[in-house]
Structure 1
Amino acid sequence: MFRRDLLAGAAAAMALPRFAIAQPAAARTLRYVPHANLPNIDPFTNTAFIARDHAFLVYDQLYGMNDKFEPVPQMAQGHVVENDGLLWRFTLREGLKFHDGSPVRGRDCIASIKRWGRRDAFGQELMARVADMTEESDRVFSIKLNKPFAKMIEAFSKVTTSCLFIMPERLANVDPFTNLAEAVGSGPYRFVQNEWVPGSSVVYVKNPDYVPVPNGTPSMTAGPKIVHFDRVEWKIIPDASTAAAALQSGEIDWWEQPTADLFPLVARNRNITVDVINATGLIGIFRPNHLTKPFDNPAVRRAVVTAVNQMDFMTAVIGEATVPGYQTLRRENIGYFAPESPSASTVGLDRLKKSIDAARAELQAAGAMGSKLVLLNATDLASINASAQVGADLFTRMGFNVEMVAADWGTVVARRASKNPLEQGGWSGFFTFWSGVDHWNPASHASIRGNGANAWPGWPTIPALEAQRNAWFDAPDEAAAKAATTEMQRIAFDEVPYVPTGMYYQPTAHRKLEGILKGQPPLFWNVRRG
């Protein structure tokens, strides 16, 4: 099992030179270290959390979501539903403008919905029911359906990738499989294109033309988005010890994801607060490539489920330390839906036997003993790197021939898009994490899809999963919806679209900041200096 040594990490934090940041920083500048580099600024083509987090500064949504997971009008003033649910008419708030000075119009919303609906699983479900979308005036647009879709507003307000962000029509008309070269929204911050240095820094400045919701209370992505900083600077610091030292010295204000070995150290600094802002946690998964051997065989995928000890993975990721309000930051017995969600079930959890011997026997019976695995590992993300180290050791003990490919997260994201066989640059699997809210229900849960070539990388073809997902969308009541998700979990443990590796709560650390909103993603409005 992979663990960092706490004392060694602390010593390294003191020994390494400070990260080079201009001093002193302006009082109205927020300096932030995100969990990863931002390699791509398109929020629809890039499903990585870092792209979504970037997008929430730049763009706004038609509907926000509060911390009770309730949709709330945001850019939209409201809507009406007519014709037995087949006609939805939306009215935009007055005065909304994009960063290029152009007004936000109904045609921009329609084009954005179309582009998003080509890439996002929830959006695809909606677009399959859309007969027509029409701009009735600059501030009013309508959506005609050929089949009722009660979850329309839930789709528009979701915070899981990819979120529906509204952009100018000229950008929304760009092919949804081509990355946007500029980021222009109507959100509370403007992206400073000429100060973006991939791998080093990202800069945003306050949008003086932003029109907040006129009333209500800020809650997650809903309510008035009032910003208290003129400038937000993201500093990309892959080395955790360097980030810890920068936070302690006051060179940065906020470190999104302090690592398990270092957050107890920074917490001892009286000027630093360590807290958990995402109460839905982060769920780990191992994603096998269903197109390449040996994981094209469900028996081999089931053998991995048999071997996995989720607590081993989560201890490697977050350690045994705690923060106020949490007796432990680790959780096991995690299935295919977030444990607090209405979709959660205990069905199939007995498949997690934590047994290498039983897994080896299953692997032998499947004729896969000694099979080569090419594992992709993002070494610049501590949680993924720790999971990959535990996983590589586990797979080796099971009897696989393991080759680890180490790279930065952006390179992993690019390579995992390849459907080539192993000998032509393909891959066998990778480890990653999703927020608990991403696994809240089938609509937001990209990694449980079984829609083959259109699925998230790994491309499982599991028609039975898709059938139950459709049953959930069409469920007449909560009992029917729960029956569908319970059956999805049973099928998932049998067919294994991915392997759940546990769940943990990620602390965040900051210096004298107030107003950080609870929820997901990390948000930059309402935040002020204490």
Structure 2
Amino acid sequence: MPLLASLRRSLLAAASMFAPIAATAQTTPPDARVLRVVPHADLRTLDPMAVSVTITRMHGLMIYETLFAWDSQLNPRPQMVQDVTTSPDGLVWRFTLREGLKFHDGQPVTSRDVVASLRRWMARDVVGSHLGARVASLETDGDRGIVMRLSRPHAFVTYALGSAVGALPVIMREADAQAEPGVPITTTIGSGPFRFNRDQWLSGQRVVYDRNPDYVPRSEPADGLAGGRVVKVDRVEWRIMPDAATAAAAIQTGEIDIWEQPALDLVPAITRRRDVVVDRLNGISTQAMLRPNTIFPPFNDPRARLALAYATDQADAMAGGWGDERWWRRCDAYFVCGTSMASEAGAEGYARPNLERARSLLQEAGYRGERIVFITSNDIAPIGRMAEVVAANLRAVGMNIDLQVNDWGTVVTRQPRRDPPDQGGWNLFVTFASGATMLHPLTNIGANMSCDGRNWAGWPCDEEAERLRATLLDAPEGAERQRAAEALQRRLAEVQPYRVLGQVDQPYARRANVMGMLNSPVMLFWNVEKTTR
């Protein structure tokens, strides 16, 4: 009997713990307190440490937090951290968590959760693995203290811990973070300003988040991802609308409040309305790319990868994807034209297509017309259109292109597969990544050519490029860093971890009564409100 009574008390306690979540999920807020958004893609993967796709990062930032966060200028600021101290030699870092941090299930966030989460992130992410390679030990110091000891100094510790790119260094519950690093988790219990409403989630149609009433924001003003994450609506609903014309009609009638990535050919129509505003989310251009799989022929040979650069025309690809040239520009800089480490050194030869040179390089690499599996999707229209243009460019130099069109969720889940192309794997895909991701050698997921096989899908390996990247990351600001950036750019232009296809300034659209959008690498929904007009 005592055992039964104890079990009954445990069950009652658990029920009371989850009661607030259930109550929130079943309550329908008034229309003025609901923000309805058309995102660029459907949410398929719930684990923001598992994949580097933008929609999963957006989801992760809704429900989780990180120790630090980038402000609008991409400077790291404390987020979950209250205090941070560093030893004079830069080898010992001590962090103290803010008081009152709680997970959505009511459990307090502790140093054990942080240590487990960071270890999982360091095992999965390109930024995390770079930092992790210098971490000699990571330990708890009481319930709120964390001590990180480095084997040698790292110039970007807080920048990495606040990363908003790649796989995010979010803080999960210890039990979730201890799951197998290679298997995405499906739990959605964070400590962030929103709660994931699983009852309302309908794949392919909607994703719903409710305001976390227990969340205590920082006192500083919101600035990018940093500062006070003050939620001013009760619910955020993502409405999945793959058809651009449907989304355009919805923003004009007020059925939706925000369209994250409006089709550029429809922008003139929606901007004619006084109650719709079209604007840029941030000031750093997005980079488009063609990513080859370097595990299998022909792109295990850098000459075949270089052939991609000579065969493709950036103007064709970008015009196909985004139309009017006012939205895009040519750029062969791996670290994004217009930013501090940008250089186009080494790319002079393929600034314009050279089909004969492309054919010659393919022949030298031993390519003899084997089938090339090129995966893509029309769910994100610019990606699908760019893929069609690039496929035509590659066929023109004799490549046997099998363009396989699937839904975006299938493409995303297929990218990490290392199977041979004829067994569910792939040779090529087109995608794009935010400028905030690609402007820095630490966060540029495509330029990581580490040979441990833990880098981004495509898995290019080049020890010289990695030596130059390490030199750049350790270089002091100023002329020395610029020289190191140019040297790395030249090597990347030679070995081609991916073909840069250009840069685009993707706008977003909102109803005029939506206020408070933040300048950020990804779209955020705290600080946003719907005014009555």
Pairing 1:91-110 to 2, within 5 Å after superposition: 91-110=96-115
Please give the alpha-carbon distance, in whole angstroms, between the structure 1 residues aligned to 2:295 and 2:52.
Answer: 21
Contact 2:124–2:454 (8 Å) recurs in 1: no
Opposite residue 54 of structure 1, the aligned amino acid is H
Question: How many angstroms apart in 1 are the aligned matches of 2:492 and 2:225?
Answer: 31
Q: 1:171-182 to 2 correspondence within 5 Å?
A: 171-182=176-187
Distance 1:472 1:75, change over 3 A: same
> 1:58–1:191: 8 Å Cα contact kept in structure 2?
yes
What is the Cα deviation at residue 368 of structure 1?
2.9
Q: Does 1:472 align with 2:472?
A: yes
Q: Provide the secondary structure at the position in 2 that maps to 1:161.
A: coil
Among 17, 39, 45, the residue aligned to 1:40: 45
Deviations 1:256-292 (A, max 9, x none): 0011221221111221111111321210000011122
1:82 matched to 2:81: no
Q: CA offsets per residue over residues 429-450 of structure 1, 9 Å max, x none?
A: 0000011111111110111111
Residue 261, structure 1, aligned to residue 260, structure 2: no
Partner of 2:428: 429
Partner of 2:236: 232
Match of 2:506 in 1: 506
Runs of 4+ in 1 over 6 A off after TM superposition: none
Distance in 2, Cα, partners of 1:365 & 1:207: 59
> Secondary structure in 2 aligned to 1:458?
coil
The aligned length equals 501
Separation (CA, whole Å) in 2 of partners of 1:268 and 1:156:
42
Q: Following the alignment from structure 2 to structure 1, what is the Cα–Cα distance between the partners of residues 224 and 338?
A: 18
- In structure 1, the partner of 2:332 is 334
**1:32-85 alpha-carbon deviations (Å, 9 max, x no partner):** 111011101100011111100111110112111111111111111120112521
Matches within 5 A, 1:377-416: 377-416=376-415
* Aligned twin of 2:20: none
Alpha-carbon distance between aligned partners in 1 of 2:358 and 2:146, rounded to the nearest angstrom: 56
CA offset digits 1:97-135 (Å, max 9, x no partner): 111111111111111111111111111122122222222
> Matched residue of 2:123: which SS?
helix
The Cα of 1:421 is off from its aligned counterpart by 2.5
Q: Does 1:29 align with 2:34?
A: yes
- Whether the 8 Å contact between 2:125 and 2:455 is mirrored in structure 1 is no
Deviation at 1:249, TM superposition (A): 1.7
* Alpha-carbon distance between aligned partners in 2 of 1:416 and 1:67, rounded to the nearest angstrom: 30
Q: Give how far 1:187 is off.
A: 0.9
Contact 1:58–1:184, Cα closer than 8 Å, also in 2: yes
Q: Are the aligned partners of 1:289 and 1:427 in contact in 2 as well (CA < 8 Å)?
A: yes
Task: For 1:346, give the aligned amino acid.
Answer: E
- Residue of structure 2 equivalent to 1:347: 345
Tell whether the 8 Å contact from 1:278 to 1:506 is kept in structure 2 after alignment: no
Amino acid corresponding to residue 437 of structure 1 in structure 2 = A
SS in 1 for 2:265: coil
Q: State the secondary structure of the residue aligned to 1:464.
A: helix
Paired with 1:450 and 1:113, the residues of 2 have a C-alpha distance of: 22
Residue 527 (structure 1) aligns with: 528
Give the superposition deviation at 1:25.
6.8
List alignment gaps of at least 5 residues for structure 2.
1-27
Distance 1:366 1:81, change over 3 A: closer
Structure 2 SS opposite 1:376: strand
Distance across 2 between alignment mates of 1:380 and 1:417? 19
Please state if 1:276 is matched with 2:280: yes
Does the 8 Å CA contact 2:69/2:226 hold for their aligned counterparts? yes
Q: Post-superposition shift, 1:231?
A: 0.3
1:454-513 per-residue CA deviation (whole Å, 9 max, x = no partner) reads 221111111111111221232244433333221221111111111000010001011121
C-alpha contact 2:126 2:456 (8 A) present in aligned 1 = no
Change (3 A) 1:135 1:365: closer
CA offset at residue 359 of structure 1? 2.7
Identity fraction in percent: 39
Q: Which amino acid letter does the alignment assign opposite residue 355 of structure 1?
A: N
**Contact between 1:336 and 1:448, CA under 8 Å: does it hold in 2?**
yes
Separation in 1 of the partners of 2:254 and 2:88?
58
Contact 1:333 1:349 in 2 (8 A): no
The secondary structure found in structure 1 opposite 2:226 is coil
| Aligned-residue CA RMSD (Å) | 1.8
Q: CA 1:100/1:449 → structure 2, altered by over 3 Å: closer, same or farther?
A: same
Per the alignment, in what secondary structure is the counterpart of residue 436 of structure 2? Answer: helix
Deviates more, 1:172-181 or 1:477-486: 477-486
Supply the distance in 2 between the matched residues of 1:88 and 1:481 (Cα, whole angstroms).
25
Structure 1 residue matching 2:304: 3-state secondary structure = helix
Farther off after superposition, 227-236 or 138-147: 138-147
TM-score scaled by structure 2?
A: 0.90
**Which shows bigger deviation, 421-430 or 40-49?**
421-430
The yes-or-no answer on 1:49 pairing with 2:48 is no
Label 1:145 to 1:505 Cα distance change in 2 as closer, same or farther (>3 A). same
Scaled by the length of structure 1, what TM-score is found?
0.91
Partner SS, residue 500 of structure 1:
strand
> Is the alpha carbon distance of 1:24 and 1:114 closer, same or farther for their aligned partners in structure 2, counting shifts above 3 Å?
closer
Unaligned runs of 5+ residues in structure 1 are: 1-22, 322-327
Per-residue deviation, 1:190: 0.6
Indicate the residue corresponding to 1:71 in structure 2: 76
Task: Name the CA distance, whole Å, in 2 between partners of 1:136 and 1:24.
Answer: 42
| Preserved contact between residue 260 and residue 317 of structure 1 (Cα < 8 Å) | no
1:146 counterpart = 2:144: no
Partner residue, 2:293: 289
2:222–2:228 Cα contact (<8 Å) kept: yes
1: CA distance, partners of 2:366 / 2:88: 57
Counterpart CA distance in 2 for 1:57 and 1:233 is 12
Q: Which amino acid aligns with 2:377?
A: A
Q: CA deviation at 1:297?
A: 2.2
* Aligned-partner Cα distance in 2 for 1:127–1:298: 29
The amino acid across from 1:31 in the alignment is R
* AA aligned opposite 1:449: N
1:318 aligns with 2:322: yes
Task: Output the amino acid matched with 1:407.
Answer: N
Counterpart in 2 of 1:115? 120
Q: Does 1:303 align with 2:302?
A: no
Deviation at 1:451, TM superposition (A): 2.1
SS in 1 for 2:189: coil
Which of 194, 210, 217 is the matching residue for 1:212?
217
